[in-house]
Amino acid sequence: MKLLTIETTCDETAAAVITDDLKVLSSVVASQDALHKRFGGVVPEIASRAHVERILPVIDEALRKANTKLSDLDAVAVANTPGLAGSLLIGLTAAKTICVAANLPLLAVNHLQAHVYACRIASGRDVFPCIGMVVSGGHSNLYRCDGPTDFTPIGGTIDDAAGEAFDKVASLLGLPYPGGPSIERAARTGDPRRHRFPRPLLDDPEHLNFSFSGLKTAVRYLVSGPGKIEDVKPAACKLSPQDIADLAASFQEAVIDCLVGKAELALQNTGYRTLCVGGGVAANGRFRTRLEDSAKLNRYELHVPPLALCTDNAVMGAIAVERLRAGLFEDLSLDISPVPERAAKR
Ligand code: KG4
Ligand code: ZN
């Protein structure tokens, strides 16, 4: 069986053709980084307009590369939650239209669960049950994953997402968008011990939540002193390249301490022995090394996908294969849900 998967939750327009045994026949990703760069972040209106222009060429290219016609497909899967409303609507409308035109069943993809499932695709073997951690531009979430269609949220950020913090701090330091790769590059020559930034919520053994907004403010105060956000950029120019490298390295280490610490706590609290990490921030080399060290020390199985499966893509939409097997089809009333499901309050 063959599935067409569509991903337009944020600023990447992506489509892939995948078999039910998780063979990737094609994968196309049209990035919008160049469009959003000068704004230092994703502009929702620009993102949805770009999706409208790109969605059909991207789907056509995915089908062509997979040597597949619409009539060869068995289902269409689309990420309908969470994400930017305007962006989600473009992918969902395209998927529904193809389903009507080619008389195909429709499957829903939860974008965050798909980020975790990227580990299943990359490893080529079962990874469940596991703790799933998604760290991206819009989300920092922890899940108890008892199976590929059985995810329970157990923690998340109470303010900014980890990737968002990378993007905002990069902008404070005058580094280009997207901030994650820029901070990682700058941090390579920096001293992570020069500044001791806060590790919010890390020493709270009860909760699996993150908070990154205070950390971002701590960097801002260090750069320019307390004051208006507009004051920051000129001050950042006065920083030497070594200052910027040290700030980037110290900030990166603080974020990673929080992420690794809470992942360890989630494993400890649940007794699960497998950790699957996904999302754009999982592309960070220092984070990957720290996770590997933690896995060795604490003797758990770690899965982190290759870089192309960490950032947004349609291949991870292959999680829909599991819904297809379970008979979890959608009808044409399927809607978007921009906001993610949250962990139950304790
Ligand atoms: O998963 P993703 O592609 O899109 C969302 O669903 O948000 O994640 C994008 C985020 C951005 O905030 C970007 O700065 C961050 O992932 N990112 C990184 C790295 N590469 C991408 N963060 C830290 N280090 C990286 N190397
Ligand atoms: Zn994502």
The average pLDDT across 273-293 equals 97
* Shortest-distance atom of ligand 1 to CA 312: 3
Tokens matching residue 310 = 């960490």
Distance CA 279, CA 307 (A): 9
Whether 29 and 101 have beta carbons less than 8 Å apart is answered as no
pLDDT band at 115 (very low <50, low <70, confident <90, very high): very high
Residue 236: predicted pLDDT: 56
Residue 262: predicted pLDDT: 97
* Helix/strand/coil (H/E/C) assignment for every residue in 49-79: HHHHHHHHHHHHHHHHHCCCCHHHCCEEEEE
* Lowest model confidence (mean pLDDT) among 20-29, 148-157, 233-242, 270-279: 233-242
pLDDT band at 38 (very low <50, low <70, confident <90, very high): confident
How far, in Å, is the centroid of ligand 2 from the Cα of 8? 10
Whether 17 and 26 have beta carbons less than 8 Å apart is answered as yes
CA distances from 184 to 118, 156, 170, 196 (A): 22, 23, 10, 18
Q: Give the strands of the sheet with 130-135, arranged side by side.
A: 150-156, 140-147, 130-135, 274-278, 301-303
pLDDT band at 50 (very low <50, low <70, confident <90, very high): very high
Domains of the chain: 2-115+312-344 (3.30.420.40), 120-308 (3.30.420.40)
Residue 114: predicted pLDDT: 98
Write out pLDDT tens, residues 164-222: 999 999 999 999 989 999 999 999 999 999 999 999 898 888 889 999 999 999 999 88
> What is the SS3 assignment for 312?
coil
The average pLDDT across 285-299 equals 98
* Lowest model confidence (mean pLDDT) among 56-60, 232-236, 311-315, 321-325: 232-236
* Lowest model confidence (mean pLDDT) among 21-30, 182-191, 221-230, 255-264: 221-230
pLDDT band at 227 (very low <50, low <70, confident <90, very high): low
Show the beta-strand stretches assigned E in the chain.
Answer: 2-7, 12-19, 24-31, 75-81, 106-110, 130-135, 140-147, 150-156, 274-278, 301-303
User: Which ligand has the minimum distance to the alpha carbon of residue 136?
Assistant: 1
Residue 341: predicted pLDDT: 81
How far, in Å, is the centroid of ligand 2 from the Cα of 112? 7
Whole-number percent of the chain with pLDDT over 90: 87
Q: Which position has the higher pLDDT, 41 or 256? A: 256
Residue 223: predicted pLDDT: 87
How far, in Å, is the centroid of ligand 1 from the Cα of 280? 3
Write out pLDDT tens, residues 54-92: 999 999 999 999 999 999 999 999 999 999 999 999 999
The average pLDDT across 87-106 equals 98
Pocket test for ligand 1, best of 166, 168, 255, 312 (most atoms within 8 A of CB): 166
How far, in Å, is the centroid of ligand 2 from the Cα of 115? 7
Residue 340: predicted pLDDT: 84
Listed in sequence order, the residues at least 6 apart from 200 whose beta carbon sits closer than 8 Å to its beta carbon are 210, 211, 212, 214, 215, 258
10 lines ligand 1 (CB under 6 A): yes
* Shortest-distance atom of ligand 1 to CA 162: 12
pLDDT at position 151 over 70 = yes
166 lines ligand 1 (CB under 6 A): yes
User: Which ligand has the minimum distance to the alpha carbon of residue 255?
Assistant: 1
264 lines ligand 1 (CB under 6 A): no
Residue 136: predicted pLDDT: 93
pLDDT at position 232 over 70 = no
